[in-house]
Amino acid sequence: MESPLLIFNDKGIYCPPADIYIDAWRPVKKCIISHGHSDHARYGHEYYLTHPRNEPIIKHRLGKINVETVEWGEKFKINGVTFSLHPAGHVIGSSQIRVEYKGEVWVFTGDYKLQNDGVCAPWEPIQCHSLITECTFGLPAFNWRPQHEVMTDINQWWKENQKEGKTSVIFGYTLGKAQRILKHLDPSIGKIHTHGAIENMTTVLRDLCEFPETNLITRETKKEELLGNIVIAPPSAHGSPWIRKMVPYETAAASGWMAFRGARRRRAMDRGFVLSDHCNWHELLTAINEFGAEKIICTHGYTDIFSKYLRSIGLDARTEKTQYEGETLETEKEAV
Protein backbone atom coordinates (compact mmCIF):
# COMPACT_ATOMS: atom_id res chain seq x y z
CA MET A 1 0.00 0.00 0.00
CA GLU A 2 1.23 3.46 -0.86
CA SER A 3 2.03 5.87 1.95
CA PRO A 4 -0.67 8.52 2.60
CA LEU A 5 -0.15 11.89 0.96
CA LEU A 6 0.36 13.59 4.32
CA ILE A 7 1.87 11.81 7.26
CA PHE A 8 2.54 12.81 10.87
CA ASN A 9 6.13 12.30 11.99
CA ASP A 10 8.17 13.60 14.90
CA LYS A 11 8.87 16.89 13.10
CA GLY A 12 5.46 17.82 11.79
CA ILE A 13 3.01 17.09 8.99
CA TYR A 14 5.05 15.75 6.09
CA CYS A 15 4.29 15.28 2.39
CA PRO A 16 6.69 12.51 1.19
CA PRO A 17 6.38 12.90 -2.62
CA ALA A 18 6.98 16.68 -2.35
CA ASP A 19 9.51 16.39 0.49
CA ILE A 20 7.98 19.39 2.27
CA TYR A 21 6.49 19.95 5.73
CA ILE A 22 3.41 21.82 6.85
CA ASP A 23 3.51 23.74 10.19
CA ALA A 24 6.47 21.67 11.42
CA TRP A 25 7.24 21.85 15.13
CA ARG A 26 10.92 20.95 14.71
CA PRO A 27 13.36 22.69 12.33
CA VAL A 28 13.08 21.35 8.77
CA LYS A 29 14.32 22.35 5.34
CA LYS A 30 11.10 23.49 3.67
CA CYS A 31 7.92 24.33 5.47
CA ILE A 32 4.52 25.68 4.46
CA ILE A 33 3.14 27.87 7.23
CA SER A 34 -0.62 28.16 7.79
CA HIS A 35 -0.49 31.22 10.04
CA GLY A 36 1.63 33.33 12.35
CA HIS A 37 0.82 31.86 15.80
CA SER A 38 3.85 30.48 17.56
CA ASP A 39 2.68 26.87 17.67
CA HIS A 40 2.33 26.84 13.87
CA ALA A 41 5.13 29.17 12.75
CA ARG A 42 8.27 28.00 14.53
CA TYR A 43 11.89 29.03 14.44
CA GLY A 44 14.61 27.30 12.51
CA HIS A 45 13.27 26.20 9.13
CA GLU A 46 15.48 26.92 6.13
CA TYR A 47 12.64 28.00 3.84
CA TYR A 48 9.22 29.29 4.77
CA LEU A 49 6.35 29.33 2.33
CA THR A 50 3.23 31.26 3.28
CA HIS A 51 0.62 33.84 2.25
CA PRO A 52 1.89 37.39 1.59
CA ARG A 53 -0.26 38.76 4.45
CA ASN A 54 1.43 36.38 6.86
CA GLU A 55 4.93 37.30 5.71
CA PRO A 56 5.30 40.52 7.76
CA ILE A 57 3.85 38.71 10.79
CA ILE A 58 6.32 35.84 10.82
CA LYS A 59 9.18 38.17 9.96
CA HIS A 60 8.19 40.31 12.93
CA ARG A 61 8.09 37.25 15.15
CA LEU A 62 10.96 35.17 13.85
CA GLY A 63 13.34 37.86 12.58
CA LYS A 64 15.53 37.10 9.57
CA ILE A 65 14.08 34.13 7.70
CA ASN A 66 13.80 33.02 4.08
CA VAL A 67 10.18 33.51 3.06
CA GLU A 68 8.45 32.88 -0.25
CA THR A 69 4.82 33.81 -0.65
CA VAL A 70 1.90 32.62 -2.70
CA GLU A 71 -1.57 34.13 -3.14
CA TRP A 72 -4.79 32.35 -2.13
CA GLY A 73 -6.02 30.00 -4.83
CA GLU A 74 -2.76 30.14 -6.79
CA LYS A 75 -1.63 26.60 -7.59
CA PHE A 76 2.04 25.62 -7.47
CA LYS A 77 3.74 22.27 -8.04
CA ILE A 78 6.50 20.54 -6.11
CA ASN A 79 7.66 17.18 -7.49
CA GLY A 80 4.31 16.70 -9.18
CA VAL A 81 2.29 17.52 -6.04
CA THR A 82 -0.05 20.49 -6.45
CA PHE A 83 -0.38 22.88 -3.49
CA SER A 84 -2.57 25.91 -2.93
CA LEU A 85 -3.48 28.14 0.03
CA HIS A 86 -7.06 29.19 0.90
CA PRO A 87 -8.35 31.62 3.54
CA ALA A 88 -8.94 30.06 6.97
CA GLY A 89 -10.62 33.06 8.65
CA HIS A 90 -8.57 32.51 11.83
CA VAL A 91 -6.28 35.57 11.94
CA ILE A 92 -4.84 37.94 9.32
CA GLY A 93 -2.91 35.94 6.72
CA SER A 94 -4.14 32.54 7.94
CA SER A 95 -4.52 29.83 5.33
CA GLN A 96 -5.76 26.32 4.88
CA ILE A 97 -3.47 24.19 2.77
CA ARG A 98 -4.78 22.11 -0.11
CA VAL A 99 -2.58 19.28 -1.39
CA GLU A 100 -3.39 17.31 -4.55
CA TYR A 101 -1.54 14.31 -5.96
CA LYS A 102 -2.69 11.80 -8.58
CA GLY A 103 -6.28 12.97 -8.28
CA GLU A 104 -6.38 12.72 -4.47
CA VAL A 105 -7.06 15.92 -2.50
CA TRP A 106 -6.09 16.60 1.11
CA VAL A 107 -6.80 19.73 3.11
CA PHE A 108 -5.08 20.87 6.29
CA THR A 109 -7.26 23.51 7.97
CA GLY A 110 -4.69 24.92 10.35
CA ASP A 111 -6.70 26.96 12.87
CA TYR A 112 -9.97 28.28 11.46
CA LYS A 113 -13.35 29.81 12.19
CA LEU A 114 -16.46 30.32 10.09
CA GLN A 115 -17.66 33.63 11.49
CA ASN A 116 -16.47 36.65 9.48
CA ASP A 117 -14.58 38.81 11.97
CA GLY A 118 -14.17 41.84 9.70
CA VAL A 119 -10.40 41.71 10.09
CA CYS A 120 -9.18 38.71 8.10
CA ALA A 121 -10.33 37.13 4.84
CA PRO A 122 -13.28 34.82 5.63
CA TRP A 123 -13.00 31.03 5.57
CA GLU A 124 -13.75 29.17 2.35
CA PRO A 125 -14.75 25.53 2.07
CA ILE A 126 -12.62 23.27 -0.16
CA GLN A 127 -13.84 19.96 -1.52
CA CYS A 128 -11.45 17.19 -0.50
CA HIS A 129 -11.05 13.46 0.09
CA SER A 130 -9.08 13.66 3.30
CA LEU A 131 -9.30 16.41 5.88
CA ILE A 132 -6.95 17.29 8.71
CA THR A 133 -8.94 19.53 11.04
CA GLU A 134 -8.35 21.19 14.37
CA CYS A 135 -11.10 20.79 16.97
CA THR A 136 -9.99 23.08 19.82
CA PHE A 137 -13.63 23.65 20.77
CA GLY A 138 -15.02 20.36 19.49
CA LEU A 139 -17.56 19.94 22.26
CA PRO A 140 -21.30 20.64 22.07
CA ALA A 141 -20.90 22.98 25.06
CA PHE A 142 -19.28 25.59 22.82
CA ASN A 143 -21.64 27.88 20.93
CA TRP A 144 -20.49 31.35 20.03
CA ARG A 145 -22.81 34.32 19.86
CA PRO A 146 -22.54 36.62 16.85
CA GLN A 147 -19.49 38.88 17.07
CA HIS A 148 -21.49 42.13 16.99
CA GLU A 149 -23.37 41.05 20.14
CA VAL A 150 -20.16 40.28 22.00
CA MET A 151 -18.56 43.53 20.86
CA THR A 152 -21.65 45.44 22.00
CA ASP A 153 -21.15 43.84 25.42
CA ILE A 154 -17.47 44.78 25.46
CA ASN A 155 -18.21 48.42 24.55
CA GLN A 156 -20.98 48.47 27.15
CA TRP A 157 -18.62 47.09 29.79
CA TRP A 158 -16.11 49.80 28.90
CA LYS A 159 -18.78 52.50 29.29
CA GLU A 160 -19.86 51.16 32.68
CA ASN A 161 -16.29 51.10 33.97
CA GLN A 162 -15.81 54.61 32.66
CA LYS A 163 -18.87 55.75 34.59
CA GLU A 164 -17.28 54.35 37.75
CA GLY A 165 -14.04 56.14 36.97
CA LYS A 166 -12.17 52.92 36.25
CA THR A 167 -9.80 51.80 33.54
CA SER A 168 -10.91 48.81 31.47
CA VAL A 169 -8.19 46.23 30.86
CA ILE A 170 -9.02 43.55 28.31
CA PHE A 171 -6.74 40.60 27.65
CA GLY A 172 -6.46 38.96 24.26
CA TYR A 173 -3.80 37.18 22.32
CA THR A 174 -1.23 39.49 20.71
CA LEU A 175 -1.92 38.32 17.17
CA GLY A 176 -5.55 38.03 16.20
CA LYS A 177 -7.74 38.58 19.24
CA ALA A 178 -6.19 41.93 20.12
CA GLN A 179 -6.79 43.36 16.65
CA ARG A 180 -10.24 41.82 16.38
CA ILE A 181 -11.25 43.61 19.58
CA LEU A 182 -9.50 46.81 18.54
CA LYS A 183 -11.24 46.84 15.16
CA HIS A 184 -14.67 46.81 16.78
CA LEU A 185 -14.15 49.02 19.82
CA ASP A 186 -16.12 52.23 19.77
CA PRO A 187 -13.51 55.04 19.78
CA SER A 188 -16.24 57.57 20.64
CA ILE A 189 -16.26 56.15 24.19
CA GLY A 190 -12.66 57.05 24.95
CA LYS A 191 -9.04 56.43 24.14
CA ILE A 192 -7.62 53.01 23.31
CA HIS A 193 -4.30 52.16 24.94
CA THR A 194 -2.06 49.21 24.21
CA HIS A 195 0.59 47.08 25.84
CA GLY A 196 3.92 47.12 23.98
CA ALA A 197 3.63 43.60 22.54
CA ILE A 198 0.22 44.39 21.10
CA GLU A 199 1.22 47.82 19.82
CA ASN A 200 4.16 46.27 17.92
CA MET A 201 2.08 43.58 16.29
CA THR A 202 -0.71 46.03 15.45
CA THR A 203 1.80 48.38 13.81
CA VAL A 204 2.84 45.51 11.55
CA LEU A 205 -0.79 44.80 10.68
CA ARG A 206 -1.82 48.41 9.98
CA ASP A 207 -0.51 47.99 6.43
CA LEU A 208 -2.96 45.14 5.93
CA CYS A 209 -6.09 46.41 7.69
CA GLU A 210 -7.47 49.66 9.04
CA PHE A 211 -7.68 49.97 12.82
CA PRO A 212 -8.71 52.75 15.22
CA GLU A 213 -5.95 54.86 16.74
CA THR A 214 -4.02 53.32 19.60
CA ASN A 215 -1.78 54.80 22.29
CA LEU A 216 1.20 52.81 23.49
CA ILE A 217 1.58 52.74 27.27
CA THR A 218 5.10 53.76 28.18
CA ARG A 219 6.93 54.57 31.37
CA GLU A 220 5.91 58.21 30.87
CA THR A 221 2.19 57.41 30.57
CA LYS A 222 0.38 58.85 33.57
CA LYS A 223 -2.29 57.01 35.50
CA GLU A 224 -4.75 59.86 34.93
CA GLU A 225 -4.45 59.48 31.16
CA LEU A 226 -5.70 55.90 31.44
CA LEU A 227 -8.71 56.50 33.72
CA GLY A 228 -11.97 55.76 31.92
CA ASN A 229 -10.15 54.49 28.87
CA ILE A 230 -9.52 50.95 27.65
CA VAL A 231 -6.26 49.02 27.59
CA ILE A 232 -5.62 45.99 25.39
CA ALA A 233 -3.00 43.66 26.84
CA PRO A 234 -1.71 40.13 26.29
CA PRO A 235 -2.86 37.48 28.84
CA SER A 236 0.65 37.28 30.27
CA ALA A 237 0.34 40.88 31.54
CA HIS A 238 -2.40 39.80 33.97
CA GLY A 239 -1.00 39.82 37.46
CA SER A 240 2.27 41.47 36.40
CA PRO A 241 3.55 44.71 37.99
CA TRP A 242 2.83 46.47 34.69
CA ILE A 243 -0.89 46.48 35.41
CA ARG A 244 -0.52 48.51 38.62
CA LYS A 245 -0.50 51.69 36.59
CA MET A 246 -4.13 51.01 35.65
CA VAL A 247 -5.48 51.10 39.25
CA PRO A 248 -8.46 51.39 39.67
CA TYR A 249 -9.27 48.90 36.92
CA GLU A 250 -11.63 46.14 35.85
CA THR A 251 -10.23 43.15 33.99
CA ALA A 252 -11.76 41.03 31.25
CA ALA A 253 -10.58 38.16 29.11
CA ALA A 254 -11.78 37.52 25.57
CA SER A 255 -11.50 33.84 24.79
CA GLY A 256 -13.57 30.83 23.79
CA TRP A 257 -12.81 29.35 27.19
CA MET A 258 -14.79 32.12 28.85
CA ALA A 259 -17.86 30.07 27.93
CA PHE A 260 -17.05 28.19 31.15
CA ARG A 261 -17.74 30.06 34.38
CA GLY A 262 -14.93 28.20 36.07
CA ALA A 263 -12.38 29.36 33.48
CA ARG A 264 -13.05 33.00 34.21
CA ARG A 265 -12.76 32.46 37.92
CA ARG A 266 -9.59 30.40 37.55
CA ARG A 267 -8.02 33.25 35.63
CA ALA A 268 -9.29 35.64 38.32
CA MET A 269 -10.91 37.94 35.74
CA ASP A 270 -13.73 40.34 36.59
CA ARG A 271 -15.42 39.58 33.29
CA GLY A 272 -15.15 36.98 30.57
CA PHE A 273 -16.22 37.59 26.99
CA VAL A 274 -16.77 34.51 24.89
CA LEU A 275 -14.88 35.38 21.73
CA SER A 276 -12.82 32.85 19.84
CA ASP A 277 -10.87 32.66 16.59
CA HIS A 278 -11.63 28.95 16.40
CA CYS A 279 -14.67 27.02 15.23
CA ASN A 280 -17.30 26.13 17.79
CA TRP A 281 -19.12 22.78 17.72
CA HIS A 282 -21.66 23.69 15.06
CA GLU A 283 -19.10 25.49 12.90
CA LEU A 284 -16.91 22.40 12.93
CA LEU A 285 -19.82 20.22 11.88
CA THR A 286 -20.90 22.70 9.18
CA ALA A 287 -17.35 22.87 7.85
CA ILE A 288 -16.90 19.11 7.81
CA ASN A 289 -20.11 18.77 5.89
CA GLU A 290 -18.92 21.30 3.30
CA PHE A 291 -15.45 19.78 2.94
CA GLY A 292 -17.20 16.57 1.96
CA ALA A 293 -14.20 14.51 3.07
CA GLU A 294 -14.31 10.71 3.39
CA LYS A 295 -11.49 10.56 5.88
CA ILE A 296 -11.05 12.98 8.76
CA ILE A 297 -8.05 13.36 11.01
CA CYS A 298 -8.53 15.46 14.16
CA THR A 299 -5.41 17.15 15.45
CA HIS A 300 -5.63 19.48 18.43
CA GLY A 301 -8.41 20.14 20.92
CA TYR A 302 -11.04 17.66 22.11
CA THR A 303 -9.83 15.18 19.50
CA ASP A 304 -11.02 11.98 21.17
CA ILE A 305 -14.54 13.16 21.83
CA PHE A 306 -14.91 14.93 18.51
CA SER A 307 -13.63 12.02 16.42
CA LYS A 308 -15.80 9.59 18.39
CA TYR A 309 -18.78 11.77 17.58
CA LEU A 310 -17.85 11.87 13.88
CA ARG A 311 -17.61 8.08 13.84
CA SER A 312 -20.99 7.87 15.54
CA ILE A 313 -22.53 9.75 12.61
CA GLY A 314 -20.85 7.39 10.14
CA LEU A 315 -17.66 9.22 9.19
CA ASP A 316 -14.18 7.70 9.02
CA ALA A 317 -12.46 9.79 11.68
CA ARG A 318 -9.34 9.34 13.75
CA THR A 319 -6.90 11.46 15.74
CA GLU A 320 -3.23 12.31 15.37
CA LYS A 321 -0.94 13.82 17.97
CA THR A 322 0.63 17.15 17.06
CA GLN A 323 2.22 19.94 19.02
CA TYR A 324 -0.41 22.51 18.11
CA GLU A 325 -2.06 24.04 21.13
CA GLY A 326 -5.11 25.88 19.85
CA GLU A 327 -6.45 28.35 22.37
CA THR A 328 -5.00 27.36 25.70
CA LEU A 329 -6.52 27.61 29.11
CA GLU A 330 -3.90 26.16 31.39
CA THR A 331 -0.88 28.25 30.53
CA GLU A 332 -0.47 31.97 30.91
CA LYS A 333 -0.08 32.58 27.22
CA GLU A 334 -3.29 32.04 25.40
CA ALA A 335 -1.46 30.42 22.49
CA VAL A 336 -3.62 30.87 19.59
Partner 1 sequence: MKRFAALIKRLDTTNKTNVKVNALAEYFKEVSDQDKVWTIALLSHRRPSRPINTTLLREYAAELARIELWLFEDSYHIVGDLAETIALVIPQTEKKEDEKSLTQYLEDMIWLKKQDEKVKKSYLQNEWKHLPYYERFVFTKLLTGGFRIGVSQKLMTRALAKATEIDEDILAYKLMGNWKPQTISFKELVLDEKASDYLSKPYPFYLAYALEEEPSDLGSPEEWYAEHKWDGIRAQLIKRNDEIFLWTRGEELVTDRYPEFQKIKDLIPNGTVFDGELLPMINDSIGSFYDLQKRIGRRTVSKSLLEKIPVILRTYDLLEFEEKDLRETAFAERRKKLSNIVNEIAHPTLGISEIITFKKWDDLKEIREEAREVKSEGLMLKRRDASYKIGRKKGDWWKWKLDPMSIDAVLTYAMRGHGRRSNLFTDYTFALWSENEHGERELVTFAKAYSGLTDKEFKAVDKFIKANTVERFGPVRSVVPELVFEIGFEAIAKSTRHKSGVATRFPRIIRWRKDKKIEEANSLEDLKELIQ
- Give Cα 83 distance to the centre of its chain: 22
Site string for partner 1, 253-272 (x = CB under 8 A): ------xxxx-xxxxx-xxx
Q: Is 311 in the site for partner 1 (CB under 8 A)?
A: no
Binds partner 1 by CB under 8 A, chosen from 63, 312, 314, 321: 312
CB closest to Zn ion, residue no:
336
194 exposure class (CB count in 10 Å sphere: 0-12, 13-18, 19+): buried
Is there binding between residue 247 and partner 1 (CB under 8 A)? no
For the bound state, the minimum distance from the C-beta of residue 41 to Zn ion, rounded and expressed in Å, comes to: 9
Q: Is residue 291 near partner 1 by the rule CB under 8 A? A: no
243 binds partner 1 (CB under 8 A): no
Q: How far apart are the first and last CA of the chain?
A: 37
Residue 248 interacts with partner 1 (CB under 8 A)?
A: no
Query: Least Å distance between CB 266 and partner 1?
Result: 5
In the complex with partner 1, which residue's Cβ is closer, 290 or 332? Answer: 332
Whether 252 and 154 have beta carbons less than 8 Å apart is answered as yes
Q: Which of 70, 78, 121, 139 binds partner 1 (CB under 8 A)?
A: 139
Verify binding: residue 140, partner 1, rule CB under 8 A. yes
8 Å CB contact between 332 and 235: yes
For partner 1, the closer of residues 78 and 285 by Cβ is: 285
Question: Of 176-195, which residues contact partner 1 (CB under 8 A)?
Answer: none
**DSSP code string of 211-277:** ----EE--TT--HHHHTTSEEEE-GGGTTSGGGGGG-SEEEEEESGGGGSHHHHHHTT-SEEE---S
Q: What is the DSSP letter of 288?
A: H
Strands 167-171, 130-135: pairing is unpaired
* Site for partner 1 contains 124 (CB under 8 A): no
Contact criterion met (CB below 8 Å) for 266 and 247:
no
Angle (nearest 5°) at CA 250 between 195 and 242: 35
Taking CB under 8 A as the criterion, the residue among 309, 322, 326, 336 binding partner 1 is: 309
Residues between 79 and 118 that touch Zn ion (CB under 5 A) = 111
- The stretch among 75-83, 116-124, 214-222, 301-309 that binds partner 1 (CB under 8 A) is 301-309
Q: In what order do the strands lie in the sheet with 192-194?
A: 215-216, 192-194, 230-233, 167-171, 249-254, 271-273
Chain contacts with Zn ion (rule: CB under 5 A): 37, 111, 336
